Amino acid sequence: MRTRTIVQTHKIPHTIDGKTVMVDEPHHVQIPVPPRDWDNLVRTAVTAAAAGIGLASIAWSTASIGALLDIVVITPAAYAAAGVFDLVWISCMALEWLARYDPARAALPRRAGWIALTLAMTAVGVHGYVEGQLVIGVVGATVSGLAKGLWTIVLAHHAIPLDPLTQQWVDAQRAEVGGQMAMVPIRRELTRARGLVAAEEAALRTSPDTAPDTPENEAETPEATPELPASGPVTMAEAVRTALSCGITDQDAVVRYVRKVVDANAKEESVARTLRSLRRTA
């Protein structure tokens, strides 16, 4: 059995001048080396070969279709558009790979990939026909077909099929997490909408004063104070405390309220003294 050496550490006490500290002591350990995974090496090599063939297909198709489109448009635009043909079916294969555990989701990118491949091969063949080299055009189109075919086989080898019960479990979990992700922007949208509604309602409740307060108006309406309970406390202190809790801070208004609910002959000095006392203790 093959082995390899690794370095591990363990804590040991180390004392200097009577003070002990736990320190790391390294030691070498022999561990077995697993046998080489040839299956994984072959799988990796085939995947790398498929990637190289895909790059060659992109180069050939782009050069061929770009030369065809160069007849009617400028060269940069022609080759930029030519690169789209192979990139589309390669992107569809990437989406098919991401959905390898969900056959229903993988079906659409698979069909779209074959359609895009057919269009790319047709464009390459048309270029050969226009140039009077139909055979070369057909052979060139086959390059893209071979690349797509190899990638289809590689994807099928990597995709592990799930049994029906496991597939349903995976679909349920994906739906649950997908619902949670969908609720994130929905909650954000609802919060923003509620904020707009609250701002609109606040704006509608707030209106400018049509008749600003003046000394004359205050004299004409001496009772223009926040609404207070009609029958209040029986003591002056409680009456003053009630007025303060209702937002009445003007001394004259407090005196009027005390005289209304406690004693019609209440002295202003007594009310003022009670008011000062409550303000100090507040």
Q: How far apart are CA 73 and CA 58, in angstroms?
A: 20
pTM, two decimals, is 0.53
Check if the beta carbon of residue 17 is closer than 8 Å to that of residue 42: no
Task: Give the per-residue pLDDT at 282.
Answer: 62
* 210, amino acid identity: T
Give backbone dihedrals phi and psi of 204, rounded to 5 degrees, phi first. Answer: -75, -30
Mean pLDDT of 245-255: 78
β-partners of residue 189 are none
Q: Which residue has the higher pLDDT, 234 or 90?
A: 90
Residue with structure tokens 């600003």? 212
Among residues 91, 88, 63, the alpha carbon closest in space to that of 78 is found at: 63
Query: Crossing angle for the helix pair 236-245 and 268-281, nearest 10 degrees?
Result: 60
Q: Please enumerate in sequence order all residues whose Cβ is within 8 A of that of 147, keeping only pairs 6 or more positions apart, or say none.
A: 50, 53, 54, 56, 57
Can you list the alpha helix ranges (DSSP code H) found in the chain?
38-69, 75-98, 103-130, 134-158, 164-205, 215-220, 236-245, 251-261, 268-281
Q: How far apart are CA 116 and CA 85, in angstroms?
A: 7
A 10 A CB-CB count for 192 gives 10
A 10 A CB-CB count for 61 gives 28
Which burial class, exposed, middle or buried, applies to 164 when counting CB atoms under 10 A from its CB (0-12, 13-18, 19+)? exposed
Task: Give the dihedral sign, CA 226/228/234/238.
Answer: negative
Q: How far apart are CA 80 and CA 87, in angstroms?
A: 11
Structure-token pair, residue 72? 């009617």
* Residue 231 confidence (pLDDT) above 70: no
- pLDDT tens digit sequence for 121-171: 999 999 999 888 889 889 988 988 898 888 888 888 887 778 889 888 988
A 10 A CB-CB count for 228 gives 19
* Residue 39 confidence (pLDDT) above 90: no
Confidence band, pLDDT 50/70/90 cuts, at residue 217: very low
Task: Give the per-residue pLDDT at 234.
Answer: 54
Task: Give the per-residue pLDDT at 112.
Answer: 93
Rg over CA atoms, the chain: 43
